[in-house]
Every structure is written in C-alpha cells, then in structure tokens.
Amino acid sequence: MKLETLDIAIAGAGIGGLSLAALLARRGAKVTIHDQMSAPQPVGSGFVLQPTGAAILSRMGLLDRVKARGARISRMHGRLSGNGRTVLDVGYRPGAYGIAIQRGALFDLLLESAIGTGVRFETSSRVVGIDAGSSPRLVLENGIKTAAADLVIDAMGANSPIAAKTATELGYGALWATVPWPQDGRFRADELEQRYRRASQMAGVLPVGTANDGAMPMATFFWSIRNSDFDAWRTAGRESWIDAVRSFWPEAEMLAVIAEPVHARYRHLTRTPIAGLNTVKIGDAWHATSPQLGQGANMALLDAASLASALCHEATIDDAIALHLAQRRLHIRFYQLLSRVLTPFYQSDSTILPFSRDMLIGPATKLPIVRSLITTLVTGELLDPVGRIALERLAQAEDFASKNQSALV
C-alpha cells in the first residue's frame, strides 16, 4: 500500500501514539495526533527498555540517543527485606542488556522525531468516541467531529473511552518518584534492585539516566501500596512513611526523604483491538497489565512497528489490520496470561504464594536452563515478537517514500 495516500488520525500522544505517528509519517502518510493535554507531555516515571523495544527504536534511528540518556541494565535482582535472601536474579543473554530511561527523556526523543517527520498535533483535544464508518472520525468532548480519516488509531491507554469495557483494577498500586541518583555506591548503577516482604510489600530502585544532555543522573524509586491504604498513608504523613522505608530497606531511606511520590493505579485488561471499521487499538488501550513484567512501553513500541510494517506490506487497510493482529496476538495473549499468573506472587495479600516464590523461584533461577527461560520471559523476547513483525518492510517503505520525494523535487 502506498502510505502517501493515507490520512491517519491517532488519539493519544504517548509512547505508542508518537512512535506509530513517526513511523508512518516518515513513509509518506499524513498523520494527525489528538491529545487532551494543552501540550504533548509524558505521564509516568522510569522503566526498562528491553531488547524488543530497543529494536524498534533502532529502526527509527533513535537508539544511540536513547542509550546516551539511559542507564545500561545488566541484572534484575530481588531480595527479601529481612534476611537478604535472593528470590529473583535475572540477567541477559550474552551481548544483550536493558536500557533504563526516564519516560520524559524517551518521550522528548519520540516527540522530536514525530515533529521532524511532519506529524500534526491537535492539543486540548479530548477524544470521547468514534464516528464509525469507512472513513471514521474522532468525536471530541464538545461534540465536534474531526476530519474523516482512512484509519483511526486509539492509543489513549487503559483509560481509553473508545469501545471501553470494565477493567480489573488491581488491588495494589505504587508510589513512584524520580530522585537524584545516589553517588555513594549504595546501589549498583547497572541493576534494578528490589526488596520484598511477603507479597504485600515491595520497593525498588532503578537507575534511569539523564532527562537531557548535561543533566544529572537520576533514579526511580517505587514503593508498593494497597490502593485502599493510600488515604491512610497520606494522612499518616511523610515522616511515618520515611520510618517505614528505613525499617524495610535502610539504604533507601535517603530516597524517601527527598521523594515527591505520585500514586499510580494499575489495571489488567484485554480489549478487542478492532474498535470499528478502520479503527484499531494499540498499547494499553488494547492490552494493559501490572508493571511486574515491565513490558508496557516495549509492547506499545512493538504494536506501533507491527501496524506500520503491515500497512507497508499489504494492499488494503483491512488486510494490513489482519496481518498486524496475526503478528501481535500470540505474544500479547501469552504475556497477558503470564502477568495475571505471576503478579500475585509479588503483589497480593497471599501468604502461600510468596512462600512458594521464596522457596522455588529464587533457587530455580540458579539453574542454567531455568535462568535462560526466565531471562527470555522477562526481556519479552519469548515467541520472537520482533522477528514476527518483519522490520525490513519499514526500511523498504522508507526507501520508496524517499525516492518519490526526490522525484517530486
């Protein structure tokens, strides 16, 4: 399909929406992003880009800049708070690593890429629905309908109002804060470190690099909390929380002292990815999980590249959507199931599940075969999601678009 003939509307300027917009616009499509914010801006703290997400950013020409801003992660290591026993120890296959980065740093690079490829932005544009049809339109909260498009993308996340269904809000959320990275060596600069007490308490420290060139290195500090306990936590005040952190993980006390935590809630949902004729969901608008496996941003990047690759390959939008779903459905279903099964071992009120985790999962990760399997699971590489979306199609389409542009000039 010639992307130069397509007019595409994307709802949501998150990681999935921005990356898809840049991928399509670079190959000739006319793309408009609608976002409710008065200016595009990131939501959330730091996370780990796994080799899957890095492969997409490499195709977009952004990986070197992402590496420069992020922190290289070689290990994810979890211990029990009381006795320091290891219950999670995951590395990477030889030559591979994760890149921990502030969400704002990646957002800035994706936004710059989208603007550079000619993507248009409609800010303060809150989308509440779809006017379905062969040329769908986005419906804004004031009742105004946008111009007709050939394809509409819902990238508004788990709270998307389009074809919404009741989602399961998980009992546990987290307090997140971005703080200066401690320079005294108490935390390892290449690890995601976590501490656990049963499954009812978890905390973690992740180095996340710099927000921009020349900025100081930062860390993300997170502290799990029952959503039902949040009001009581807020009433108890900062000093009470600092005392709790000191008791649970003494080295992290200094992070709590300077943190300005934000409460995040999580949902587990899988929606039908087709929200109407020529209307498709990507990222958390399609599939959302707890953050335990850390796949959200990576999944959004995979979705964006898959849909762009399919549009480049197929002759019609219907065929492209069908190919995109075939490329992504198995990987998504597997990780949705995995997240649902594993989350209670790390965040729940159960006493049996964390006991079995401590007795079985930690020791099992020392076995080479099991360690290799768990590594592949955690990095998101199981079922070869990158290979399934055929990134070479994007290079071919970009070459074609460049030749056409040169011919016009």
Question: Going residue by residue through the chain (409 aa), what tens digit of pLDDT does each one get?
Answer: 889 999 999 999 999 999 999 999 999 999 999 999 987 767 668 899 999 999 999 999 999 999 999 999 999 999 999 888 888 888 898 899 999 999 999 999 999 999 999 999 999 999 999 998 899 999 999 899 999 999 999 999 999 999 776 667 889 999 999 999 999 999 999 999 999 999 899 999 999 999 988 899 999 999 999 999 999 999 999 999 999 999 999 999 999 999 999 999 998 889 999 999 999 999 999 999 888 778 999 999 999 999 999 999 999 999 999 999 999 999 999 999 988 888 888 889 998 988 888 877 667 777 777 777 778 888 889 899 999 999 998 988 776 566 565 444 4
Residue 244 domain-assigned (yes or no): no
Quick one: pLDDT at residue 180?
A: 96
Distance between CA 161 and CA 167 in Å, rounded?
12
CB 220 within 8 A of CB 45: yes
Q: Give me 186's structure tokens.
A: 């108490």
Query: The domain spanning residue 327 has which CATH number?
Result: 3.50.50.60
Quick one: pLDDT at residue 403?
A: 56
Residue 234 domain-assigned (yes or no): no
Residue with tokens 């890149």: 99
Residue 131 domain-assigned (yes or no): yes
Q: What value, to the nearest 5°, has the Cα angle with vertex 99 and ends 63 and 47?
A: 115
Of the candidates 130, 161, 170, the one whose C-alpha atom is nearest the C-alpha of residue 288 is 170
How many domains does the structure of the chain reveal? 1
Torsion region of 119: left, alpha or beta (phi above 0 gives left; psi -120 to 50 gives alpha): beta
Residue 249 domain-assigned (yes or no): no
pTM: 0.94
Of the candidates 159, 169, 166, the one whose C-alpha atom is nearest the C-alpha of residue 290 is 169
Residue 325 domain-assigned (yes or no): yes
Residues 6 or more apart whose Cβ sits within 8 Å of residue 297 = 15, 47, 49, 53, 103, 106
Quick one: pLDDT at residue 212?
A: 86
Distance between CA 158 and CA 169 in Å, rounded?
10
Domain that holds residue 404: 3-168+267-408
Residue 274 domain-assigned (yes or no): yes
Residue 213 domain-assigned (yes or no): no
Quick one: pLDDT at residue 395?
A: 85
Residue 365 domain-assigned (yes or no): yes
